[in-house]
A = this chain, B = another copy of it.
Amino acid sequence: MDDRPGVGRPTLETVARRARVSRQTVSNVLNSPHLVHPETRSRVERAIEVLRYRPHQAARSLRTHRSRLIGVRMEAFGDGINGSILDRFIHALTEVAEGHGYRVLVYTAADDASEIAAYEDLLGTHEIDAFILTSTHRADPRTAWLASRNTPFVTFGRPWDGTEHHSWVDVDGAAGTREATRRLCALGHQRIAFLGWPEGSGVGDDRRAGWEDALRGCGWDPAALVVAGPDGVDEGREGAHRLLDGAVPPTAFVCASDSLALGAIGALSDLGLVPGPDLPVIGFDDTAVARAIGLTSLAQPLGQAAQLCVNLMAALLGTDPDGTSTRPAHHLLRPELVVRATGLGGPPTGHPTATITSARTPTS
């Protein structure tokens, strides 16, 4: 007699009484609708509606060991320029995951070891269903750990060690720099430099490879046109200076990041030069900074990447009714070249932003 509406939260039992069926039937309506007679089903559905019933996830988890939660690490942003793209990825991921009935739980970790400790904790206490890993790198211990525990996961970033075997989504950095470099070649550039990172980082090597490949393809020699250093504006500036002071000063710059590209622009400015169609500078990641200063850059399709990550994850979790292959799968996406004031001489951008163009037209 105390199941008056509004008293306490509705449970399966409440709904069942109202629809004059048993608990289990209500549960079936939610989880295996095909088992329930259509007429019964609609009666139950109406009761659910009226009572604004929502299944209690904790009770579900307790029984099924599924939480409908996926874990993603929030990374510390270095200079704030490049870090932001992971935030954009997480945003997209959250949105896509919600469409699949999953919620995103974020956590922080200082390094791989503490990230693994976080896995252990999250799996133990919250029974996270799956993890989406970002920033994969060589000798990454995380994937092996997760695999050894049979925890489903998808990486945004390919496995750089080659031996691994799991689902992943990545952006084809080489394809991006290759396209940019080819287009520069087509415009007549020969001394196209590459500002990159020290050898050994998967992402950096990949982006450099595309440039080198294209350059050779055009018949030019990449030697003496590459400089490598840690990521950062100052590092980019310094690297660009080394190239510009060298024997074969470049006429174009392809960079592994927007930070480095920004540094290159600074170096050119130091020499009284301004990037543009005749002296292109191309960055990578299409960050807010690139948009702000009119830097041509290669944009990662983050929304699409998030979508695919969730799809692969759903496949691993067997959410998709038709038992689609549980075998690991992967996708390699092409970045998109966003042409702005600093290069590849597309049509005038209409709103050449701020400072870049300013130095060219000092008066009026």
Contact B106 A90 (CB under 8 A): yes
Q: Mark A51-89, 1 if CB is under 8 A from B, else 0.
A: 010111111111000010100001011011100100110
* Beta-carbon contacts under 8 Å, A112-132 to B: 121-122, 124-127
**Interface membership of A21, Cβ < 8 A:** no
**Interface membership of A107, Cβ < 8 A:** yes
Contact A58 B62 (CB under 8 A): yes
**Interface membership of A361, Cβ < 8 A:** yes
Known: A355-B359, A356-B355. A288 touches B74 (CB 8 A): no
Contact A104 B103 (CB under 8 A): no
**Cβ of A205 to closest chain B Cβ, rounded Å:** 26
- The chain B residue sitting closest to A266, CB to CB, is B354
**Interface membership of A91, Cβ < 8 A:** yes
**Cβ of A234 to closest chain B Cβ, rounded Å:** 6
Contact A262 B62 (CB under 8 A): no
Residues in B whose Cβ lies below 8 Å from that of A106: 90, 94, 103-106
Contact A292 B293 (CB under 8 A): yes
Residues in B whose Cβ lies below 8 Å from that of A271: 364
A263 to B145, CA, bound (A): 49
Contact A288 B79 (CB under 8 A): yes
- The chain B residue sitting closest to A124, CB to CB, is B54
Residues in B whose Cβ lies below 8 Å from that of A80: 84, 88, 287-288, 291
Residues in B whose Cβ lies below 8 Å from that of A356: 355
A55 to B121, CA, bound (A): 10
A98 to B107, CA, bound (A): 8
**Interface membership of A269, Cβ < 8 A:** yes
Residues in B whose Cβ lies below 8 Å from that of A52: 124
**Interface membership of A28, Cβ < 8 A:** no
Q: Mark A347-364, 1 if CB is under 8 A from B, else 0.
A: 000010111111101111
Residues in B whose Cβ lies below 8 Å from that of A319: none
**Interface membership of A108, Cβ < 8 A:** yes
Contact A125 B90 (CB under 8 A): no
**Interface membership of A9, Cβ < 8 A:** yes
A127 to B88, CA, bound (A): 27
18 contacts between A and B (CB under 8 A): A9-B124, A56-B62, A58-B62, A69-B105, A74-B90, A80-B288, A84-B84, A103-B122, A104-B107, A105-B106, A233-B292, A272-B358, A272-B361, A287-B288, A289-B293, A292-B292, A355-B355, A355-B356
Residues of A within 8 A of B (CB): 9, 52, 54-62, 67, 69, 74, 76-77, 79-81, 84, 87-88, 90-91, 94-95, 98, 103-108, 121-122, 124-127, 233-234, 237, 262-263, 265-266, 268-272, 274, 287-289, 291-293, 351, 353-359, 361-364
What 3 pairs between A and B have smallest CB-CB spacing? A269-B358, A54-B124, A58-B61
